[in-house]
Amino acid sequence: MAETAAPALAVWRDREGALLRLRLARPKANLCDAAMIAALQAAFDAHRAEPLRGVLLDADGPHFSFGASVEEHLPERCAAMLASLHALVIAMAEFPAPVLVAVRGQCLGGGLEIALAGGPIFAAPQALFGQPEIKLGVFAPAASCLLPWRLSAAAAEDLLLSGRSVAAPEALTLGLVQVLAEDPQAAALAWYDEHLAGKSAAALRCALRAARAPRLRELRERLAEVERLYLQVLMKTHDANEGLAAFLGKRAPQWQHR
Q: What is the mean pLDDT of residues 33-54?
A: 97
Give the H/E segment covering residue 99: strand 99-103
Is the pLDDT at 4 greater than 80? The verdict is: no
Residue 187 structural domain: 4-195
In a domain, 79, yes or no: yes
- Give me the pLDDT at residue 75, please: 87
Q: Is the pLDDT of residue 118 over 60?
A: yes
Residue whose C-alpha is closest to residue 67's, from 26, 99, 96, 101:
26
- Say what the pTM is: 0.95
The predicted model gives 101-105 an average pLDDT of 98
Model pLDDT for residues 58-74, shown as the tens digit of each residue = 999 999 999 988 888 88
> 236-254: per-residue pLDDT in tens?
999 999 999 999 999 999 9
Report the CATH number that the domain containing residue 26 is assigned in CATH: 3.90.226.10
What pLDDT, on a 0 to 100 scale, did the predictor assign at position 5? 46
On the question of pLDDT at 13 being above 80, the answer is yes
Average pLDDT across the chain, whole number: 95
Give Cβ neighbours of residue 19 (< 8 Å, ≥ 6 apart): 13, 52, 53, 54, 55, 56, 189, 192, 197
Q: Is residue 237 part of a domain?
A: no
74 vs 178, more confident:
178
Of 4-8, 157-161, 196-200, the one with minimum mean pLDDT is: 4-8
Identify whether 117 is part of a domain.
Answer: yes
The verdict on residue 183 lying in a domain is: yes
Number of domains in the chain: 1
The answer to whether residue 207 is domain-embedded is no
pLDDT at 27: 93
d(CA 98, CA 83): 24
Which residues, at least 6 apart from 146, have a Cβ–Cβ distance to it below 8 Å?
89, 113, 116, 117, 219
3-state helix/strand/coil string of 8-50: CEEEEEECCCCEEEEEECCCCCCCCCHHHHHHHHHHHHHHCCC
* Model pLDDT, residue 73: 84
CA geometry: angle 19, 24, 29, nearest 5 deg: 155
- The pLDDT of residue 211 is above 70: yes
| 111 is a domain residue | yes
Is 250 a member of any domain? no
Mean pLDDT (whole number) for 17-23: 98
pLDDT tier for residue 123 given thresholds of 50, 70 and 90 = very high
Packing angle of the helix pair 78-93, 34-47 (nearest 10 deg): 30
36 located within any domain: yes
